[in-house]
Amino acid sequence: MNKNQNFKRWGIDENYIYDYTNGQIISRRLWRNITSKDKDGYIYFNNTNYDGKRTYAHRILWCHYFNIDYKQLPRHLQIDHINGVKDDNRIVNLRLMNQAKE
C-alpha cells in the first residue's frame, strides 16, 4: 500500500482552498494566494473569519487538515516546523507540540 494513499492534498471551506502539499491558502473570492511573510519569516494572513487579527498559516493549515477548530487550539500548544524552515507550511512538515518553557 502506498504510504501517501490516505494523504489529503486539498481542503476547502466557504472562503478558502488549503493546499496541504505546498502550504498555500487561496482565497476563493480572489482566486490567489493571500498570505504574506512577517519579519521573522512566518507566513500569515489577516483574516476576519478566524479572529480578525494576523493569523499564522501553519496553525490554520494544521487545524484545518485535522478538522480542529482553530479557536479551540490552546495557546500553549504550538505547531512546529519539523525542518526549522518557518515558511515551509507543507502538512508533512508540521507537528503539534507543547510550547517550550523559557
Per-domain residue ranges of the chain: 10-98
Is residue 73 predicted with pLDDT exceeding 80? yes
CB 61 within 8 A of CB 29: no
What pTM was computed for the model? 0.79
Q: Is 23 left (phi over 0), alpha (psi -120 to 50) or beta?
A: left
Structure-model confidence comparison of residues 88 and 54, the more confident one:
88
Predicted confidence at residue 82, as pLDDT, reads 96
CA separation for the pair 52, 49 (Å, rounded) = 7
Alpha carbon distance 87, 102 (integer Å)? 23
Query: What is the reported pLDDT for 3?
Result: 45
Dist CA 70 CA 30 (whole Å): 23
Share of the chain above pLDDT 70, in %: 83
- Asked whether the beta carbons of 49 and 58 are under 8 A apart, the reply is no
CA–CA dist 15, 18 (Å, integer): 10
Q: Does domain 10-98 have CATH number 3.30.70.270?
A: no
Beta-strand ranges (E) seen in 1-102 are: 10-12, 16-19, 24-27, 32-33, 36-37, 43-46, 54-56, 77-81, 94-98
Query: For residue range 20-34, what is the model confidence (pLDDT) as tens digits?
Result: 888 888 888 888 888
